Amino acid sequence: MGEAHAYDVLVVGGGATGAGVLRDLARRGLRTLLVERGDYGSGTTGRYHGLLHSGGRYVAKDALAARECIAENRILRRIAPASIEDTGGYFVATPDDPDDYVDGFQAACIAADVDCEEIPVVEALRREPALNPGIRRVFKLPDGSVEPWQLIESNIADARAHGSDAWSYQRLVGMERDGDRIVAAMLRDERSGSLTRVTPRFVISCAGAWAGQIAAMVNVTVTMHPGKGTMLIFNQRMTDTVINRCHKSSDGDIMVPVHTVAILGTTEQRVEDPDQYEITRDEVAALIRQGEKLFPDLGNMRLLRAYAGVRPLYQPPAEVTAAAMKDGRQISRAHTVLDHGAMDGVENFVTIVGGKLTTFRRMAEDTVDMVCAKLGVTEPCTTADAILPNQVPGKTYWLGHRLADHEAEGGGDAGLLCECEFVTRPMLDDFLDRHPGCSLDDMRRGTRLGMGPCQGGFCTFRAAGVLAERAGHAGVADVAELADRAILGFLRERFKGTRPIAAGRQLQEQWMISGVYEGGLGVESLIEHETPEASREVVGAQR
Amino acid sequence: MTIAELIRDASEEAVGYSSDECIKCNVCLTVCPVARVTDLFPGPKYVGPQAQRFRTGRAQPVQVPGVPFALSPDVTVDYCSGCGLCTSACPAGVKIAEMNSQSRARMKAGKRPKLRDWGLGQTDLVGRVGVLFSPISNWALANRPIRAIMETTIGIHREAPFPKFGRRTLQSTWKRRQQRRGTAAVPGPERAIVYFHGCSANYYEQHVADAAIEILKRNGFETIIPEQVCCGLPLISNGIYTEARQRAHKNLDVLAPYARQGYRIIGTSTSCTHTIKAEYREMLDIHADDATVVANATWDICEFLLDLHEQGRLDTGFGRLDEDLPYHAPCQLRSHGIGLPAMELFALVPGLRAADMDHDCCGIAGTYGMKKEKYPIGMAVGAPLFDKIKASGAPEAACDSETCRWQIEKATGTRTRHPIEILLQAYRVADAAGGTKRGPLAAAGT
Ligand SMILES: Cc1cc2nc3c(=O)[nH]c(=O)nc-3n(C[C@H](O)[C@H](O)[C@H](O)COP(=O)(O)OP(=O)(O)OC[C@H]3O[C@@H](n4cnc5c(N)ncnc54)[C@H](O)[C@@H]3O)c2cc1C
Ligand code: SF4
Ligand code: SF4
Ligand code: SF4
């Protein structure tokens, strides 16, 4: 068993919140270790909708949340431009949306400091011709879309530059409590199984929907209300602007253009276990029916896959109403820092729950403020002012950049590993250099490999080849076995998310690809190598 | 409206969305004549449905904050010749060629077109000026030093085929003829057709128009030649859409009233007729009823003659032509989806041994192969065709599209004519032999 003593603080969970907390602590001079059981962003952060909220969605019900969103929206555009696409957002009133909500919308925005401008319907339709021509009013707000993985990477890079560290594939499996203090935490390496004992002065749980499991390790009760949300990914953007329905939030009422695709979401359904949930065909059909109110032709557009994430919803036990137990939308989207010293008598432990990706930095600031007060650290928070590493001021993400970059090199399929998403060999090498020992699925998150219409059909074997080649150079003996396992695991994962939606062209594509892998390459003969790991999750549909 | 309907309706939007249908089978790549011969062009799948997912702002110029317009992601798509073979081959119905044309237009929109691309698009202007100064212009185009200067200054390859300007335009000749004849009542749509001559017959190849008029007359149809402008295809293929739309509207305004009365509109250039049939709606996104009415009334001349034959109304009194005739079906003809009507007509001519060269594209593709940087590509695309024609040893060849004829003539030294010129020759052989006419006119006892 390894020992790691040098850390002031242990952060549990490598989603946006954990990464933000890590960065904030590091910048205030606390040597911190972040641990994540899988790859960074493999929790809710990697399975969310992709929307940089303007706050417009919350103005009517939750002005505080709206204010927080717009403030953080402005900050993120400044400190993390490369992770953000400035799509702008439209809130559109369809014929089904009640007038009183629409009429009060602009005033509510102004009251919450959210920029909002009404524009003529014809102008909106000219810019976004796929929109329902029957829409009655359109408001323009500063929504955008956010790339979560890059954002996490930037936060971690900044923390590293300030002397802290982050370990992926390290699961927190237990903590030792001595009276009113946690004295040690036990980590398990999820690949090798080896254990490491760390002895931080403080533990912060940023485990989102899993926060209850972490607290339970020291006999503290944190009752989460994990809320599953399902989203649908369409093959190409039918809109370059985020489109929201201007009404009281419900299912399937936001379309977010993210990279090459457009994502319709979401739903809200309580689940018991954040690791066990399914997406059903009925759910998909219902989402499309709702989405058709925004884009009448949606039912005919090509659907790539469905995926779901679990919201880390929390409400203090005393406030949980019967209504909230039934409908998660009743639960606040604001965040809460739980001080387990005051609440449960564990002095060096806090949990941060709730919130949104848009407000992750603010959530981190509030958490770290509390922790610093306890540790007697007086350094102020600087995360809102310092631009993140690997980011160029004012240079937001542009969809065309991969095509433009590749074209500058002469273009063509020959240089592409993933033809759908324009992933080149140098891009993959760069990623693998920075993430040694990662899986094809990690490469997907990091580079978008296999996220296009063929869903990995034509790039998986090429990427597996790259993995094997690099492993060979690094002296790994059985590279063939490694490549086989990589291919199988990845194909399983990719096809899982398409099961509830496979129809039309997407189904044809799948038949063709299974033809290639099973008929042509004889992949089924690899089944004996299959690891239990590959078949563990029930759905785990990811994008 | 569903995507399927939209695509049938073929608006610009639908062309873009049709990339949704791509299953990445690569069939389009295997048929693309340009990708086959050059690495500069990555092929239809790449520049079409694949790149399409990275293009923002389909319906309007790219609007990317902080990114100047010139940063359009498309570069290689400019090497697409627009031959349309990919679209006709795609099993999934992706409108690849159309998508490419639109991307090119978007790549060029907002920038001033290159003088050359603009000039190659202005077939009307060039034609008028060329005809006006025809002795000088023809001398200049045949003059090697001048062509060398043209290559370096405006980028038109010195070897690129150029036709000879006529001494006057068809329009002016026709007007004079009409004046001489005086005003006669225009026959109804059963006894007359409307001729869309396009630029080549107007400025360069009046003999094609003459052949068409004579053959139609033999078969009982008077010709009406209304005022008209270039169909706009050269502008479309050079990515200059706004001007192309103006041309289209002018033509539609003239042609639609005829079409509504039931007149058929006949063209001798497969590219012009395809533009009117399909591209006014698909590429230029013109959705007025006029566009549909005119499209439905438009015929390629061989298509029309074959239709007459199928109704038993074609005068088949062709004389004997004892010769080998290599025939090239231009790529645009394939996009019409009407088969090879010229070959079926040739089969009616006794003794004529017409052979379809079965090659996809001659490489000129409108004005593509004239450009300095694309001329070698065009020649490579057409090389197998040229070899076959040369190997046949035939004295002449046939092809329905003017630029293809010029390209083939230039590359092979073999005289190349429009199929109806061959047919007219066969009629004349019969006349000379005092042959009896068969078909409708004979039946009517004239
Ligand atoms: C469907 C859906 C749509 C959403 N859409 C939006 C949106 O459009 N905009 C927006 O701003 N917000 C959105 N949200 C909210 C947002 O996604 C979340 O609030 C945010 O991602 C939470 O981040 P996190 O870091 O707190 O949690 P997570 O990303 O879940 O991070 C927690 C991490 O802890 C790890 N972990 C768990 N147990 C252990 C252990 N024992 N040891 C080590 N690590 C462990 C997990 O693997 C996980 O990676 C959405 C949420 C959902 C569910
Ligand atoms: S032929 Fe059609 S479906 Fe096949 S790759 Fe080309 S565009 Fe895609
Ligand atoms: S139009 Fe012709 S040249 Fe262009 S991509 Fe299609 S097949 Fe190739
Ligand atoms: S010139 Fe003709 S065959 Fe050749 S490219 Fe044209 S239309 Fe195609």
Nearest CA in chain B to A123: B60
Q: Are residues A117 and A191 in the same domain?
A: no
> Which of B7, B20, B24, B87 is the pocket-test mutation for ligand 2 (most atoms within 8 Å of CB)?
B24
Contact between chains at A400 and B55 (C-beta distance less than 8 A): yes
Per-residue pLDDT in tens (0 to 9) along chain B, 446 residues: 333 333 334 455 567 678 888 988 889 999 998 998 888 899 999 999 999 888 764 433 343 444 444 345 777 888 898 888 899 899 988 999 888 887 877 666 555 556 667 666 666 666 666 666 666 666 666 666 766 676 766 667 767 676 776 777 778 777 787 777 776 778 889 999 999 988 777 777 888 888 999 999 999 999 998 888 888 887 887 777 888 888 899 999 999 999 999 999 999 988 889 888 888 887 777 878 889 999 999 999 999 999 999 999 999 999 999 999 999 998 878 878 888 999 999 999 999 999 999 888 888 877 787 777 888 888 888 889 999 999 998 999 999 988 888 889 888 989 999 999 999 999 999 998 875 555 444 433 33
Residue A3: beta bridge partners?
Answer: A197
**Is A50 within a domain?**
yes
Q: Is A529 among the domain residues?
A: yes
In the CATH scheme, what is the code of domain B170-310? Answer: 1.20.1050
Same domain, A163 and A287: no
Do A393 and A471 fall into the same domain?
A: no
Calculate the CA A261 to chain-centre distance: 15
String of DSSP letters for B85-105: HHHHH-TT---HHHHHHHHHH
Is the separation of the CB atoms in A266 and A254 below 8 Å? yes
Q: How far is B414 from chain A (nearest CA, A)?
A: 37
Among candidate residues A307, A331, A353, the one where a domain is terminated: A307
Q: Compute the distance between CA of residue B309 and CA of residue B317 in angstroms, rounded to an integer.
A: 12
CA of B341 to the centre of ligand 2 (A): 28
Q: Ligand 1: which residues within 6 Å by Cβ? A: A 12-18, 35-38, 42-45, 48-51, 53, 171-172, 206-210, 214, 229, 265-266, 309-312, 355-358
CA angle B225, B229, B232 (to 5 degrees): 130
Query: CB-based contact (8 Å) between B76 and chain A?
Result: yes
| pLDDT for B287 | 79
Nearest ligand atom owner, CA of B401: 4
A506 within some domain: yes
Contact present, A462 and A417 (Cβ < 8 Å): yes
Of A272, A307, A342, the one marking the end of a domain is A307
Question: Which one of A127, A235, A396 has the shortest CB-CB distance to B66?
Answer: A396
Is the CB of residue A50 less than 8 Å from the CB of residue A542? no
Subunit contact B92:A453, Cβ cutoff 8 A:
no
Give yes or no for a contact between A440 and A489, defined as CB atoms under 8 angstroms apart. Answer: yes
A297 within some domain: yes
- Sequence spans of domains, chain B: 3-108, 115-154, 170-310, 324-432
Residues A386 and A521 in one domain: no
> At A161, which CATH number?
3.50.50.60
Q: What are phi and psi of B330, to 5 degrees?
A: -65, 155
**Residue A430 counted as domain residue:** yes
Beta strands B323-328 and B352-356, pairing class: parallel
Q: How many CB atoms lie within 10 A of CB B320?
A: 14
Ranges of H-type helices in A209-321? 211-216, 281-291
> Computed from CA positions of residues B390, B393, B399, B401, in that sequence, does the dihedral angle turn out positive or negative?
positive
Ligand 2: residue of B22, B53, B100 to mutate (most ligand atoms within 8 A of CB) is B22
Bond prior to A199 in cis (omega within 30° of 0): no
Integer Cα distance of A413 and B43 in angstroms:
9
pLDDT of residue B445: 36
**Same domain, yes or no: A367 and A385:** yes
Q: Please tell me which residue of chain B has the smallest CA distance to A412.
A: B42
Output the CA A44–ligand 1 centroid distance in Å.
Answer: 3
pLDDT digits (tens, 9 = 90+) for A283-320: 899 999 999 999 999 988 888 888 899 998 887 776 66
Judge whether A543 lies within some domain. Answer: no
What is the predicted pLDDT for the residue at A536?
A: 32
| Nearest-atom index, ligand 4, CA of B331 | 8
Same domain, A523 and A379: no
DSSP H/E element including B257: helix B241-261
pLDDT at residue number B63 = 39
The whole-angstrom separation of Cα B304 and Cα A219 is 88
Contact criterion met (CB < 8 Å) for A301 and B21: no
pLDDT at position B84: 86
Residues A448 and A528 in one domain: yes
What whole-number distance in Å separates Cα of residue B96 and Cα of residue A154?
Answer: 39
Among B272, B386, B403, name the best residue to mutate to test ligand 4's pocket (greatest count of ligand atoms within 8 A of Cβ). B403
Type of residue at A64:
L
A44 and A179, same structural domain? Answer: yes
| CB-based contacts of B222, cutoff 8 Å, min separation 6 | B186, B187, B191, B192, B193, B216
Q: Report the residue of chain A nearest B29, measured CA to CA.
A: A413
Same-domain check for residues A425 and A454: yes
State which residues of chain A have pLDDT below 70.
Answer: 318-332, 494-500, 524-543
CA quadruple B251, B257, B259, B263: dihedral, nearest 10: -110
The pLDDT value recorded for residue A320 is: 60
Q: Which residues of B touch A238 (CB under 8 A)?
A: 17
> Which residue, A286, A307, A328, sits at the end of a domain?
A307
The residue of B13, B46, B99 whose CB has the most chain A CBs within 10 angstroms, and thus the best one to mutate to test that interface, is B46
Which CATH topology does B3-108 take?
Fumarate Reductase Iron-sulfur Protein; Chain B, domain 2 (1.10.1060)
pLDDT of residue B134: 65
In CATH terms, the fold of domain B324-432 is Rossmann fold (3.40.50)
Domain holding A464, by residue range, is: 401-538
Asked if B59's CB is within 8 angstroms of A505's CB, the reply is no
Q: Is A457 at the interface with chain B, CB within 8 A?
A: yes
Into how many domains does chain A fold? 3
Residue A327 lies in a domain: yes
